[in-house]
């Protein structure tokens, strides 16, 4: 795979696939996080005097024009961040686009309309990919968040552009993933939370082959606790995969991987901000209550397990952190990881939100921009968007 800093960009028409899938309210972008994530790549291309054609999706318009999902609101924000004009074209291919590109000078920027307004994008359609490819001399993919989906703009297009490379954001994602699971500093610990074991079976099975310790929290922990023969009250539990949970725990034992489950939990009769919270041993969860966070003994258990760890991978919160009574576990572990000397790699939108709420995001080594893509990398899958650049 080539990277953007390994190719000559001056005077070239560069098609840059980004992820500007930003929240928009009343015609205004409400968070610039995803836009800022690409600024390093964009600035580099502009410094090298490329003619930059930026393309992205937004939402799921399913191949039709949906005005609320137009990328037009991004123009103002991007112009402000770059301190230069950004020309917007309300199509992604065709005469209007070609005309706008023909007027470009070195260092200019054109932003195309939402790629998913064209049905060929999600279908990885060759004809649409060929049209996109005809706009440029060089193709750069910087959109890790959609690398797990084969689309015309991140997969098929590479068949029709001679020079293809990855941007700096994609490069960082790949390099940090390699630090985490390919050539990690050991010992390696993975903190896995969230609601369902069923969503992360592949992740857990793959991680057992890669890590030294697995710390399980969130609602998914109750499926494992039930699989160990404990009663979990009204806690979320996937009865239908108890056998799968037992097999995962047995695999961890066979591989000599430390598999840690909560020792105690914060319980309540309902998930509410004003709920009466009771700390219960996992062996004594009341029948009418549900576990909604890890308890203080578990915070100590998990904190001790992280001492001396050189690499931490974290996906999924350890409790219902959105509600103050059930945020203590996730926030406490975020502080432990943030204050450690370990390489810390965070993935998943909820996990990122929780770490930011805990005020620890600036202390993490890397926060991935891709939820689904990050999970699929943890599963050991090959991502189409990355495979296309490796051809």
Mark out the alpha helices in 137-241 (DSSP H runs): 168-177, 201-208, 220-227
Beta carbons of 48 and 3 less than 8 angstroms apart:
no
DSSP 63-87: TS--GGG-SHHHHHHHHHHHTS--E
The residues annotated with a catalytic role in the active site are 34, 196, 349, 372
Instruction: Assess contact for 170 and 143: CB atoms under 8 A.
Output: yes
**The dihedral sign for the CA sequence 335, 339, 341, 347:** positive
Phi, psi of 191, rounded to the nearest 5 degrees? -105, 115
User: How far is the C-alpha of 110 from the C-alpha of 100, rounded, in Å?
Assistant: 7
The closest alpha carbon to 222, from 209, 207, 206, 233, belongs to 233
How many whole angstroms separate alpha carbon 166 and alpha carbon 148?
15
Contact in structure between 126 and 156 (CB atoms under 8 Å): yes
Distance CA 4, CA 140 (A): 7
């Amino acid at each position: 795979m080539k990277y953007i800093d390994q190719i000559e960009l001056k005077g070239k028409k560069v098609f840059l696939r980004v992820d500007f899938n930003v929240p928009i309210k009343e015609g205004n972008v409400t968070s610039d996080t995803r836009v800022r994530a690409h600024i390093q790549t964009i600035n580099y291309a502009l410094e090298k005097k490329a003619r930059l054609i930026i393309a992205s999706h937004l939402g799921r318009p399913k191949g039709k024009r949906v005005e609320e999902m137009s990328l037009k609101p991004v123009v103002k924000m991007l112009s402000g961040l770059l301190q230069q004009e950004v020309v917007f074209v309300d199509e992604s291919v065709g005469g209007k686009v070609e005309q706008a590109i023909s007027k470009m000078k070195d260092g200019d920027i054109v932003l195309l309309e939402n790629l998913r307004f064209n049905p060929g994008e999600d279908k990885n359609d060759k004809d649409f990919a060929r049209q996109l490819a005809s706009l440029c001399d060089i193709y750069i993919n910087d959109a890790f968040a959609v690398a797990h989906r084969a689309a015309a703009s991140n997969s098929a297009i590479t068949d029709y552009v001679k020079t293809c490379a990855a941007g700096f954001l994609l490069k960082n994602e790949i390099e940090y993933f390699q630090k985490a699971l390919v050539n990690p500093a050991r010992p390696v610990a993975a903190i896995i939370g969230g609601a369902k074991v069923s969503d992360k079976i592949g992740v857990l099975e793959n991680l057992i082959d890669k890590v030294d310790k697995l710390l399980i929290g969130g609602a998914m922990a109750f499926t494992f606790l039930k699989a160990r023969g404990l009663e979990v009250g009204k806690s979320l539990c996937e009865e239908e995969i108890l056998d799968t949970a037992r097999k995962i725990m047995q695999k961890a034992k066979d591989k000599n991987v430390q598999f840690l489950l909560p020792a105690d939990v914060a319980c309540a009769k309902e998930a509410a901000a004003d709920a009466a919270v009771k700390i219960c041993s996992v062996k004594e969860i009341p029948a009418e209550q549900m576990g909604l966070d890890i308890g203080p003994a578990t915070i100590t258990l998990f904190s001790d397990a992280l001492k001396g760890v050189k690499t931490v991978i974290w996906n999924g919160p350890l409790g219902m952190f959105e509600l103050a009574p059930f945020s203590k576990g996730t926030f406490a572990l975020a502080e432990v990881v943030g204050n450690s000397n370990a390489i810390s790699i965070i993935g998943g939108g909820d996990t990122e939100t929780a770490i930011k709420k805990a005020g620890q995001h600036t202390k993490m080594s890397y926060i991935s921009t891709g939820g689904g893509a990050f999970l699929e990398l943890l599963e050991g899958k090959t991502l189409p968007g990355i495979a296309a650049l490796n051809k």
